[in-house]
Amino acid sequence: RLYIRRLYRSVGMFQKGLARVQVVHSWGFIDHTCKEVIPTIFDKVSDFHEGLSAITFEGRAGYIREDGSFTIKPQFTDCGNFSGDMAPAAKNDIWGYINRQGEYLIPPVWDKASPFQGSVAVVSKNGKYGYVNDSGEVAIEPMFDLAGDFREGLALVEINGAYGYIDKTGKLVIMPKFEDANVFSEGLAQICNNGKWGYIDSDGRTVIPAVYDMAEPFRDGLALVGMNGRWCYINRDREIVWQEK
CA-CA-CA-CA torsion sign (203, 163, 216, 20): positive
**Mean pLDDT rounded to a whole number for the chain:** 95
Residue type, 172: L
- Nearest in space to 220 (alpha carbons), one of 193, 196, 185: 185
- Nearest in space to 14 (alpha carbons), one of 32, 40, 26, 35: 32
CA-CA-CA-CA torsion sign (14, 17, 20, 22): positive
Q: What is the pLDDT at residue 18?
A: 96
Q: What is the pLDDT at residue 52?
A: 97
* Residues forming a β-bridge with 193: 196
pLDDT band at 84, cuts 50/70/90?
Answer: very high
Give yes or no for a contact between 152 and 166, defined as CB atoms under 8 angstroms apart. Answer: no
pLDDT band at 4, cuts 50/70/90?
Answer: low
pLDDT over 60 at 228, yes or no: yes
Listed in sequence order, the residues at least 6 apart from 167 whose beta carbon sits closer than 8 Å to its beta carbon are 153, 154, 173
- The backbone torsions φ and ψ at residue 116, rounded to the nearest 5 degrees and listed phi first, read -65, 140
pLDDT band at 139, cuts 50/70/90?
Answer: very high
Whole-structure pTM value: 0.90
- Within 10 angstroms of residue 145's Cβ, the number of other Cβ atoms is 15
